[in-house]
Structure 1
Amino acid sequence: NLNVPVLIQASSDDIEKMDRVHRRDAFCGKISVTSVLYQYGIPFTLTKYHTCPIKSEIFKEDLKRFEKICSIVKKLRSVRLGQIGTRPNAFETVRYSEKILEFNGISIEPIDLSEIFGEIRRLPDSDPNVKEKIQFIKDYTPTTTFPEDGILKLAKLSVIVENWVLENELDGFAFQCWPSIQDNFGIVPCAVMSMFSEGLVPAACEVDIAGLIGMYILQVATETPSAILDWNNNYGDDPNKMVLFHCSNLPKSFFKDTKMTIHPIISDLKGDDHSFGAIQGRIKSKPCTLLRIETDDIFGEIKALLVEGNYTDDPLETFGGYGVIEIPNLQDVLKTLCKEGFAHHVAVTLNKVGDIVLEALSNYLGYNIVYPNESI
Structure 2
Amino acid sequence: MMGAANRLSDSDPDLLAKMERIKAYGRIPAHIQPAQILRQAKWSLTVDRWIVENGCDASAIQCWRSLQDNFGCATCVTMSMMGEELMPSACEVDIMGALSMYALALASGAPPAILDWNNNFAREPDMCVCTHCGNFPKKFIGDTPEIGELDVLGETIGREKCFGAVKGKVKAGPMTYFRVSSDDRAGTLKAYLGQGEFTDDPYGMDGGIAVCRVPRLRNLMRFVTQNGFEHHVAMVRGHHAEVVNEALTRYLGWPLYDHDTAPEPMLVPRPPAPPLLKGLR
Distance 1:203 1:316 in 2: 26
Q: Is the 8 A contact 1:336 1:372 kept in 2?
A: no
- 1:296 and 2:189 aligned: no
Q: Which runs of 4+ in 1 moved over 4 A?
A: none
Q: How does 1:149-298 map to 2 (within 5 A)?
A: 149-255=35-141, 256-298=143-185
Point out where structure 1 has 5 or more consecutive residues left out of the alignment: 1-115
Q: Is the 8 A contact 2:84 2:139 kept in 1?
A: yes
Deviations 1:179-203, CA, capped at 9 Å, x for gaps: 1001100111111111111111101
SS, match of residue 202 in structure 2: coil
Identity %: 40
- 1:359 and 2:246 aligned: yes
Q: How high is the TM-score relative to the length of structure 1?
A: 0.68
Deviations 1:63-121, CA, capped at 9 Å, x for gaps: xxxxxxxxxxxxxxxxxxxxxxxxxxxxxxxxxxxxxxxxxxxxxxxxxxxxx012112
- Alignment CA distance shift 1:150-1:138 (3 Å): same
- AA partner of residue 82 (structure 2): F
Q: Is the 8 A contact 1:259 1:279 kept in 2?
A: yes
Q: What's the counterpart of residue 329 of structure 1?
A: 216
Q: What's the counterpart of residue 36 of structure 1?
A: none
Q: How high is the TM-score relative to the length of structure 2?
A: 0.90
- 1:347 and 2:234 aligned: yes
Deviations 1:295-325, CA, capped at 9 Å, x for gaps: 1101011111111101111221211111211
Q: Is the 8 A contact 1:261 1:278 kept in 2?
A: yes
Q: What's the counterpart of residue 72 of structure 1?
A: none
Distance 2:19 2:90 in 1: 22
Q: Is the 8 A contact 1:329 1:373 kept in 2?
A: no
Q: What's the counterpart of residue 310 of structure 1?
A: 197
Distance 2:5 2:199 in 1: 41
Query: C-alpha root-mean-square deviation of aligned residues, in Å?
Result: 1.3
Q: What's the counterpart of residue 147 of structure 1?
A: 33
> How many residue pairs align between the two structures?
261
SS, match of residue 302 in structure 1: strand
- AA partner of residue 323 (structure 1): A
Q: Is the 8 A contact 2:25 2:144 kept in 1?
A: no
Q: CA deviation at 1:373?
A: 3.8
- Alignment CA distance shift 1:263-1:144 (3 Å): same
Q: CA deviation at 1:374?
A: 2.5
Point out where structure 2 has 5 or more consecutive residues left out of the alignment: 264-281
Q: Is the 8 A contact 1:226 1:251 kept in 2?
A: yes
Q: CA deviation at 1:375?
A: 7.6
SS, match of residue 145 in structure 2: strand
SS, match of residue 206 in structure 1: coil
Larger helix fraction of residues = 1
Q: What's the counterpart of residue 119 of structure 1?
A: 4
Q: CA deviation at 1:257?
A: 4.1
